[in-house]
Amino acid sequence: MSNIANLRVFLERANALVKKSQPDLHDLSAVCESLATVMTDIIGAECRLVVKVDAKQLEKAIAIAEIAEKAGAQ
């Protein structure tokens, strides 16, 4: 794709993320992937984004999400 098309995809994905009431990991991943593509276009070298998450906080967040999911199913 062209630089302009890649930028448009990034903006559309970021806009969808902002408008969504409960964004998920897929939404975040899509924005990160398209941002990396735009960065590659601008810099001229392949770019990838790396996100670091504290393991304990991630486990806690997963547990909370599972509890909320179970409560919503009942």
Q: Following DSSP, what letter does each residue of 15-52 receive, concatenated?
A: HHHHH-SS--HHHHHHHHHHHHHHHHHHHSS-------
Q: What range does the domain containing 48 cover?
A: 3-73
Q: What is the mean pLDDT of the chain?
A: 93
pLDDT by 10s per residue, the chain, length 74:
899 999 999 999 999 999 999 898 899 999 999 999 999 999 999 999 999 999 999 999 889 988 988 887 77
pLDDT tens by residue, 36-51: 999 999 999 999 999 9
Structurally, the chain folds into a number of domains equal to: 1
Place of tokens 């448009």: 8
* Token pair of 44 as six digits: 């001229």
